């Protein structure tokens, strides 16, 4: 019986039951679900469990190993924190979507074969769009549609890859795949869409900031991390991931500086953090993989925390735009403090979480001889200080006082943020406990004098640069604006092209109608000439006309009979 179903199924089924409950009972039920799933999960034995025969395929519902467990822990943690954060919500749809989405993600990381993984991948895509649409605006509706189209397209590519792979090898096993066939390249491409590879990334910064206050927090935790899990499982040590990840760390930080919507700044920041993980997976040594997995874990917590703090601002003030905010520390001191913990964590300040996770990847990049990669990662780390470490808390809570006054975030939101903040500090300050959970054998000591001092120097001098540029007025101000990104190609170029084609088609059709109309009018006019009131045939009685035609026929007959 044990392991017949994956732990995520508890959340999915529980989510379907949520509409039956009301009030405190519902809240208690939703909070209990991740706890029950946790105890079920840690009770599972290692190995492949829950085999299901489906057509000619043997599906593995539950594969338990240290990699899937690590993602299991953090997904359940994120579900619990996200549920607490959303407890004030009356919207049943969002609660159901949350649990199915989180449960689907959990099922995906426990899926033992590619087909099961694909099925849960689709569940995730559909469930997650119901965290965008409940904003119930035209804008969110469109953003959700674009999001769903991209997710579905990625799903189709994944399915194609899996089918080709099955036809070539007869196997649907989801182990180390590598990149030696077209099928495997297709699977990597599909995962690349979800992991926001450069030029495939635009769905992320397009949709996440348009989701609901609580939805963005959940979206940031699962979709991309399922992709990171799948990359670690199937493509560890795939060389091409190193340059891809490096580009991901570097280009979004420029966008993050000039973006006005602070939730969109965090979305760009997210691509930057995913880049570090992708580099770690590409390097593929035990330490680098541990670094990637550990950083995914830490990122879910600190990025969630930052999204929660910006969500609280959006919830209370009604906007998360840097140009409209400022001085909110006076109204929301707790949210401000928690946000700053998240900012310190993502910046990898000593004693905060990313300091003990990101450094594994950095250190291994250097040890494996990727000098330029290391140099760019270091540059990107300095960039993180600017947009996530300083910009987010500074423009929201300090900077120029906007005069906006509001209530502190609701208690449930503060509780969720407090738990995340405690985890950020806990992981960063006591890494040895956290390291025991990591899936691969490797040793790493983050707290050496050299590491602490050099990292602090890097961060403080990056911050110094920001301070100097703000003070001298060189720093670009927050402006109400839209910055063009790769989504321009389908939102504007593609749209305009379609509209253009539509115009050409309409014009061509109009020409066809015109010409046909002219022909018809000409024919009509001739008809009128002969058969109209003044026409030759119009002047006679119908009997006369008949006599005329009979004469013509008889004449013709006479001529023909002589031939």
Partner 1 sequence: MTDAQNGAPHGPAPDEPKYWLDHKANVDKLLRGFYVVCAILFVIDIFVPKHGLLAIEHTFGFYAIYGFVGCSAVILGAKLLRILVMRSEGYYDR
Contacting positions for partner 1 (CB under 8 A):
139, 253-258, 323-324, 327, 329-330, 366-367, 371, 378-379, 382-383, 385-386, 398, 400-403, 448-450, 453-467, 469, 471, 474-485, 491-492
The phi, psi pair for 171, rounded to 5°, reads -125, 140
By C-beta, is 453 or 547 nearer to partner 1? 453
- Nearer to partner 1 (CB atom), residue 4 or residue 445: 445
Of 172, 205, 173, 176, the closest CA to residue 188 belongs to 176
Residue indicated by tokens 């305009």: 496
**Nearer CB in complex with partner 1: 56/450:** 450
CA angle 65, 69, 70 (to 5 degrees): 120
How far is 218 from 225, CA to CA, in rounded Å? 11
C-beta closer to partner 1: residue 461 or 507: 461
CB of 104 to partner 1, least distance (A): 30
Q: Look at the alpha carbons of 463, 468, 472, 474 in this order and tell me if their dihedral is positive or negative.
A: negative
Question: Is 366 or 406 the residue whose CB approaches partner 1 more closely?
Answer: 366
Distances (CA, A) of 247 to 159, 272, 418: 27, 9, 33
Q: In terms of C-beta density within 10 A (0-12 exposed, 13-18 middle, 19 or more buried), how is residue 250 classed?
A: middle
DSSP structural state of residue 404: -
Which three-class secondary structure state does DSSP give residue 44?
Answer: coil
Q: Please report how close the Cβ of residue 467 comes to partner 1 at its closest, in angstroms.
A: 6
Q: Cβ 348 to partner 1, closest distance in Å?
A: 12
Nearer to partner 1, 433 or 449 (CB): 449
**Residue 196 beta carbon to partner 1: minimum distance, rounded to whole angstroms:** 18
Residue 219 CA to residue 98 CA, distance in Å, equals 9
Query: Where would I find the H helices in 347-478?
Result: 353-367, 371-384, 392-397, 411-429, 431-435, 449-471
The minimum distance between CB 490 and partner 1, in angstroms, equals 11
Q: Return the number of the residue (367 or 502) whose C-beta is nearest partner 1.
A: 367
User: Which one, 476 or 533, has the nearer CB to partner 1?
Assistant: 476
Cβ neighbours of residue 486 closer than 8 Å, sequence gap 6 or more: 199, 201, 202
CB 474 → partner 1: shortest distance, Å?
A: 8
Least Å distance between CB 61 and partner 1?
A: 42
Spatial distance between the Cα atoms of 397 and 333, rounded to a whole number of angstroms: 9
**Lookup: tokens for 233:** 């499982």
Q: 244: which residues sit within 8 A by CB, 6+ positions away? A: 192, 197, 198, 278, 282
Q: Which is nearer to partner 1, 467 or 546 (CB)?
A: 467
State the minimum distance, in angstroms, from the CB of residue 442 to partner 1.
17
Minimum Å distance from CB 211 to partner 1?
A: 17
* Closest C-alpha among 295, 70, 67 to residue 174: 67
Nearer to partner 1, 98 or 347 (CB): 347
Q: Which is nearer to partner 1, 469 or 546 (CB)?
A: 469
What kind and span of H or E run contains 248? helix 241-258
Distance in Å, CB of 334 to partner 1, minimum = 16
Taking the complex as a whole, the smallest distance from the CB of residue 392 to partner 1 amounts, in Å, to: 15
Q: Is 345 exposed, middle or buried (0-12, 13-18, 19+ CB in 10 A)?
A: buried
Rounded Cα distance between 130 and 241, Å, is 31
261 phi and psi, to 5 degrees?
-75, 115
CA distance 292 to 297: 9
CB atoms under 10 Å from CB of 20, counted, come to 10
């Amino acid at each position: 019986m044990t392991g017949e179903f994956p732990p995520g199924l508890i959340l999915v089924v529980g989510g379907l039951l949520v509409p039956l409950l009301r009030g405190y009972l519902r809240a208690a039920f939703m909070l209990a679900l991740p706890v029950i799933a946790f105890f079920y999960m840690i009770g599972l034995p290692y190995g492949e469990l829950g085999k299901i025969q489906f057509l000619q395929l043997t599906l593995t519902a539950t594969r338990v190993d240290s990699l899937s467990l690590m993602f299991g822990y953090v997904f359940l943690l994120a579900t619990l924190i996200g549920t607490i954060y959303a407890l004030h919500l009356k919207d049943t749809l969002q609660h159901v979507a949350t649990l199915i989405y989180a449960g689907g993600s959990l099922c995906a990381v426990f899926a033992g074969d590619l087909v099961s993984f694909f099925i849960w991948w689709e569940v995730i895509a559909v469930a997650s769009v119901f965290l965008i649409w409940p904003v119930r605006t035209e804008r969110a509706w469109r953003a959700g549609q674009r999001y769903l189209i991209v997710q579905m397209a990625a799903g189709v590519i994944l399915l194609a890859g899996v089918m080709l792979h099955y036809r070539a090898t007869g196997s649907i096993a989801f182990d180390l795949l590598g990149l030696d066939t077209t099928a495997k390249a297709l699977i990597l491409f599909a995962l690349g869409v979800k992991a926001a590879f450069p030029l495939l990334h635009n769905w992320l910064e397009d949709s996440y900031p348009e989701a609901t206050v609580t939805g963005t927090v959940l979206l940031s935790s699962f979709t991309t991390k399922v992709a990171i899990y799948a990359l670690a499982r199937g493509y560890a040590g795939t060389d091409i991931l190193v340059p891809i990840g490096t580009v991901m760390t570097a280009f979004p930080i420029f966008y993050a500086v000039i973006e006005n919507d602070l939730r969109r700044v965090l979305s760009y920041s997210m691509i930057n953090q995913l880049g570090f993980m992708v580099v770690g997976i590409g390097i593929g040594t035990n330490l680098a993989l541990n670094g990637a997995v550990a950083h995914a874990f830490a990122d879910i917590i600190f990025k969630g925390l930052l999204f929660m703090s910006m969500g609280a601002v959006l919830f209370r003030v009604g906007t998360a735009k840097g140009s409209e905010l400022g001085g909110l520390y006076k109204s929301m001191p707790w949210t401000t403090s928690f946000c700053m913990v998240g900012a310190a964590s993502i910046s990898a300040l000593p004693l905060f979480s990313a300091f003990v996770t990101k450094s594994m990847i950095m250190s291994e990049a250097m040890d494996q001889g990727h000098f330029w990669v290391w140099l760019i990662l270091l540059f990107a780390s300095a960039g993180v200080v600017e947009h996530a470490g300083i910009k987010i808390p500074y423009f929201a809570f300090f900077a120029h006082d906007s005069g906006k006054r509001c209530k502190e975030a609701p208690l449930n939101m503060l509780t969720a943020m407090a738990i995340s903040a405690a985890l950020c500090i806990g992981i960063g300050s006591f890494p040895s406990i956290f390291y025991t959970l990591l899936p691969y054998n490797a040793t790493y000591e983050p707290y050496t004098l050299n590491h602490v001092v050099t990292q602090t120097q890097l961060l403080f001098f990056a911050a110094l640069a920001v301070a100097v540029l703000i003070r001298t007025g060189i720093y670009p101000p927050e402006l109400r604006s839209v910055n063009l990104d790769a989504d321009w190609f389908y939102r504007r170029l593609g749209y305009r092209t379609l509209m253009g084609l539509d115009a050409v088609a309409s014009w061509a059709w109009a020409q066809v109608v015109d010409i046909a109309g002219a022909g018809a009018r000409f024919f009509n006019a001739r008809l009128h000439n002969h058969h109209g009131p003044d026409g030759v045939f119009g002047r006679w009685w119908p009997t006369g006309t008949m006599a005329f035609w009979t004469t013509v026929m008889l004449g013709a007959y006479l001529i023909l009979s002589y031939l």
